Chain A
Amino acid sequence: MSGPASWLSSVAGAAFVSAVELDGVQVGQFMLSRPLVLGPLLGLLFGVPETGLALGLCGELLSLDDLPLGGNLPLNVTVAVSAALLLTCGPRPVPPELALPAGLLAGWAHRCLETSLRHRRREYSSLAESRVRQGARPPWGRLIAGALAEQAAGTFAVLLVCVFVAGPALRGLWPYAPRVVVVALAWAWWLAPWLGLGSAAYALRVNA
């Protein structure tokens, strides 16, 4: 495994993830943002392919049955896995067993943020409609670019908090963590792929 990434590399990684995250719902849906694609890709970029794979596998299998149907907005697993990887190989690295639950919390925080962004976007419909009623063409470019920029900025903000606040804080606290916490985190990390496989097998049940 290579050494910790610099602050600049971590910020660049966060910016990269913010752009790729748009693939999840808003642009294309080419699966570039799935954990088993983005995790290994970030792992390769940061020189930690094994960690990227491990986090990507856990995130992918645990989220396989969370279907993006209608208004269902599950925890953002793209942000979760990326945050965990940036925490694992960032300037203040933490072990993956701690980074995974911290990343999941980041994914949950992103979900809350995205909920409010999706509510806000009703204004875009109103604006488009009022322009049509005036006999004009809706400003499509501005509307769509605005929605995408807001989403990317939200993702970037969540990841920056992970890099600049959560990473150093967790790194500082980790040596003082009680042994029981360390053992429980290691246990959950070790079992995560098994839990993910169970979830995947359930998702693939033939008579669904």
Chain B
Amino acid sequence: MSGVLSPRMQGRLFGRSLLLQSAWSFERMQSLGFAFCLEPWLERCWHGRAGELSAARLRHQEFFNTQPYLASLVVGMVCALEEEAAGAAAAELPAKVARLKALKTAAASALAGMGDAWFWGALRPFCAVLAAAGAWALWERPRWAAAWAILAYLAAHNGPALLVRWGFLRRGYAWGDQIAARLKAWPGQRGVKAVRLAGLALAVACAVLLLNDVPADRKLPGALALAAAMGLRALRVSAFKVYAAVLLGGLAAGLTGWL
């Protein structure tokens, strides 16, 4: 047993964490990927103790689901707790394992909510409108616009996402069962609001670029469509259904001679 998360081991865990959802199933969600990710660490912790190693492998094949980027924090925490369990006396082992399982479940649920708000609710939409705004601004030069969209999206998203995925492995390991207390101190929610606000400003810029680009008689229908899409989304109608409704509405309008 090493006692430290070496850079080499961190690299192995990180590489495997990229396959966390490779065998995602409705029944156990990310469990298989999580167990695969932990395999080298479990083999190290429980080396020479076949029964305990099998038990460890089995407990990480139980249901597991969280936001995939923040999963690295859970992986790091579980590494610390598995190491602690492996070093405990035999009489203490059941209690250590029960605590590990409870902390893992609680952390997964809490981090799912946080990660969804950070990455799917703020960063991804921000990157999309950033790429879109540049693409619309460069529309007359399509190759440049395409190159901008690709590079801006990938850089703006993967920069922070990779930093979090790599760095949180070590933090999770260092924090162990203190994850909840440590995360309370993070200014996450303010960051989410700032990114969303910046994204909203870019979306307005996109609308202005689009408005400048269309003939005068089409400005009003475009703006109305934008407002209608926002309203229908507020009513929980998916954007694709809104598009389908526009298509069917166009057909109906054409059939009645209005369009």
Contacts and interface: CB of A to CB of B under 8 A. Distances in A.
Contact of A204 (B125, B158, B229): B125
Interface stretch (B83-91, B179-187, B241-249): B241-249
A37 B149 contact: yes
Interface string B64-82: 0100110000000000000
A110 B153 CA distance: 25
Contacts of A61: 128, 132, 239
B1 to A, nearest CB: 19
A148 B203 CA distance: 36
A73 to B, nearest CB: 9
B44 to A, nearest CB: 14
Interface stretch (A4-12, A155-163, A184-192): A184-192
A199 B229 contact: yes
A204 B203 contact: yes
Nearest to B199: A204
Contacts of A57: 132, 135-136, 149
Contacts of B230: 198-199, 201-202
Contacts, number: 272
A53 B142 contact: yes
Contacts of B207: 197, 201
Nearest to A188: B247
- Chain B contact-residue range equals 35 or more
Contact of B222 (A25, A194, A204): A194
A113 interface: no
A97 to B, nearest CB: 10
A121 B24 contact: yes
B28 A125 contact: yes
A118 B26 contact: yes
A132 interface: yes
B5 interface: no
B3 interface: no
A181 B58 CA distance: 57
Contacts of B41: none
Interface of A is mostly: helix
B239 A124 contact: no
Contact of B210 (A125, A133, A194): A194
B109 to A, nearest CB: 11
Interface string A96-135: 0000010010000000000000111110110011001101
A198 B228 CA distance: 7
- Chain A contact-residue range equals 35 or more
A67 B226 CA distance: 20
Interface in B19-59: 19, 21-29, 31-33, 35-36, 39, 50, 54, 57-58
Contact of B142 (A50, A68, A183): A50
Contact of B23 (A44, A49, A121): A121
A49 B145 contact: yes
Interface of B: 18-19, 21-29, 31-33, 35-36, 39, 50, 54, 57-58, 61, 65, 68-69, 112, 116, 120-122, 124-129, 131-132, 135-136, 139, 142-143, 145-147, 149-150, 153-154, 157-158, 161, 193, 196-197, 199-200, 203-204, 206-207, 210, 218, 221-223, 225-230, 233-234, 238-240, 242-244, 246-248, 250-251, 253-255, 259
9 contacts: A40-B149, A104-B243, A118-B25, A129-B58, A184-B247, A198-B233, A203-B233, A204-B196, A206-B196
Given A50-B142, A67-B120, A184-B259, 19 more contacts: A27-B19, A29-B21, A29-B68, A30-B157, A57-B135, A60-B131, A124-B32, A143-B23, A144-B19, A183-B259, A194-B225, A194-B229, A195-B228, A195-B243, A195-B246, A196-B239, A197-B229, A198-B242, A205-B200
